[in-house]
Amino acid sequence: MTELATRAQAFGLVAEGVAAGLSAPWRLYLARGCRHLSLSVGDRAEWNAWRTHLGCPELSVRVYDAGGEIRRSSVAEVLHDGCRISVELIEEVSTDDLDRLPVADPASPEPGER
């Protein structure tokens, strides 16, 4: 994305979204020498709003350990006029919900064992 017109188009897409009421991404990365624009947003509502604005289907969700903290990375991506545009959300995930999952009673038969 080294051509001025292409860079202007990429930033124009972001400017249109902000003008339409979307929160500005907290990080915007435009790769030099390749055609890739990456937006990082702050929460799931912003991620969904940008995905909708750009027409990005959900691409991947990854959960990983980041030094003792569990994080989920959600990435949506679309190809627009030869430029790959991705919207990324990184969230800290709590393990509190795991404690609330029902635990199977080993004494009770499985549904297919009756």
**What is d(CA 107, CA 111) in angstroms, rounded to the nearest whole number?**
12
Cα(82)–Cα(31) distance, rounded to whole angstroms? 14
Q: What is the pTM of this model?
A: 0.69
The structural domains of the chain, with segments of one domain joined by +, span: 4-95
Domain 4-95: top CATH class? alpha beta
* Digitized pLDDT (tens) for each residue of the chain, 114 residues in all: 344 456 777 788 889 999 999 988 878 887 766 678 889 998 989 999 999 998 887 678 887 777 777 888 889 998 877 778 889 998 887 766 555 556 655 565 555 554
Q: With beta carbons less than 8 A apart as the criterion, state whether 28 and 7 touch.
A: no
Q: Read off the amino acid at residue 104.
A: A
